[in-house]
Amino acid sequence: MIKFLKKTGLQDVIALIVILVGIIVIMSLSSNLFLSPRNITNLLIDSTTVGIIAVFSTMLMIGGGLDLSVASTAALCGVIIGVFQASLGIFPAVLIALAAGAIVGLVNGILVTYVGINPLITTLGMFSIARGLAFVFSNGLTIPVFDLSGEHQAAYDRFTILSEGSFLGLPYPVIAMLLLFALGVTVLHLSSYGRAMYAIGGNELASKMAALPVKRYRVTAYVLSGISAAIAAIFLTSRLYAADPRAAPGVELTVITAVILGGTSLAGGKGNLVGTFLGVMILSALLNGLRLQSTSTDLQNIIQGLVLLAAVGFEQVRTGNVNLDIRKMFSK
């Protein structure tokens, strides 16, 4: 198994598919509901928040960055929609939310690249700040997002259709996520931005010496990460008819787990979106299956933490940073 994981590329994808199928088999054996069309649809829609953000987190992490503030930013952007919709209308509110996501990302990016604060600390700080702002702007209350006055029915209908509409049986949020993954794959592998992410994550110093505008690319990656949180917030708010400052709890952890599970290196320079997509599906299936069996949130958290540690552990083994020789461990 370890030797198998050491080889990269296709083998990784196959390994992830095997894990995904394994989880699906186990979950469907333990609950009849798991494979029901309704649950599958729910599972897919649930996966979109994590999935949409994970696309851009993957790019960011390939470029050697990290963003722990995505879930808080999503909550903040949701609240911003909630606050501004009443006075400005729903669509201007959505645009403001997107701008807010970009600004949060910009601040993260500037702090990391120009001020030189460690990305973990920067975005951990922002994790707290954005969530705090969400509570301040909403007074800690859930803000209803639907047409209270009855005068802008059409606009709100268009907002609601974002999450309730479907095409060929696939709900719009799922289509949006798939499109973003497709766009992400194209950008990562064929564009200068994608190339820059691999170069900067692979060797930042060499990229600098090759006269690549490293800082600009890195700030861009944080801005996109912030915008992705806003996009996720738009779909979430549409689905819930409400903006909740408590929204998307623990999503940053799920995102990072999915990205690392998918084979993106924490050190940067390596990774791909096919892996991330499978990582998102694996975690969504796992958490959905656990919920069907009424597993407590606490236990879900424990399991998710274990998956994260296992994923990082496997990466260490695969990259040869540790030599996992069980016999040796016990012989001493």
| Site string (239-278) toward other proteins, x via CB under 8 A | ------------------------------xx--------
Answer for which of 30, 128, 191, 296 binds other proteins (CB under 8 A) is: 191
How many chain residues interact with other proteins (CB under 8 A)?
Answer: 21
Q: What is the CA radius of gyration of the chain?
A: 20
Which among 64-72, 97-105, 146-154, 192-200 is the span making contact with other proteins, rule CB under 8 A?
Answer: 192-200
26/260 Cα distance (integer angstroms): 23
Answer for which of 42, 160, 203, 301 binds other proteins (CB under 8 A) is: 203
Question: Which is nearer to other proteins, 149 or 323 (by Cβ)?
Answer: 323
193/122 Cα distance (integer angstroms): 23
Answer for which of 30, 128, 153, 192 binds other proteins (CB under 8 A) is: 192
150/161 Cα distance (integer angstroms): 17
The residue type of 126 is: M
> By CB under 8 A, is residue 148 in contact with other proteins?
no
Least distance CB 201 / other proteins (angstroms): 9
> By CB under 8 A, is residue 110 in contact with other proteins?
no
Count Cβ neighbours within 10 Å for each residue of 280-312 and write b for 16 or more, e otherwise: bbbbbbbbbbbbbeeeeeeeeeeebeebbeebb
Answer for which of 10, 154, 211, 326 binds other proteins (CB under 8 A) is: 211
Least distance CB 153 / other proteins (angstroms): 40
Nearest to 15 by CA among 28, 30, 2, 29: 2
Question: Which is nearer to other proteins, 179 or 206 (by Cβ)?
Answer: 206
* Half-sphere exposure in the Cβ direction for 272 (13 Å, CA): 13
Answer for which of 22, 140, 213, 250 binds other proteins (CB under 8 A) is: 213
**Residue 213 region, left (φ>0) first, then alpha (ψ -120 to 50), else beta?**
beta
Residue 104 near residue 168 (C-beta atoms within 8 A): no
Answer for which of 183, 209, 306, 324 binds other proteins (CB under 8 A) is: 209
Question: Which is nearer to other proteins, 207 or 284 (by Cβ)?
Answer: 207
Ramachandran angles phi, psi of 117, nearest 5°: -80, 140
What tokens does 140 get? 């800690």
Nearest to 99 by CA among 240, 234, 241: 234
Least distance CB 206 / other proteins (angstroms): 5
Answer for which of 195, 300, 312, 316 binds other proteins (CB under 8 A) is: 195
Least distance CB 212 / other proteins (angstroms): 7
Interface positions with other proteins (CB under 8 A)? 186, 190-193, 195, 198-199, 202-203, 205-213, 269-270
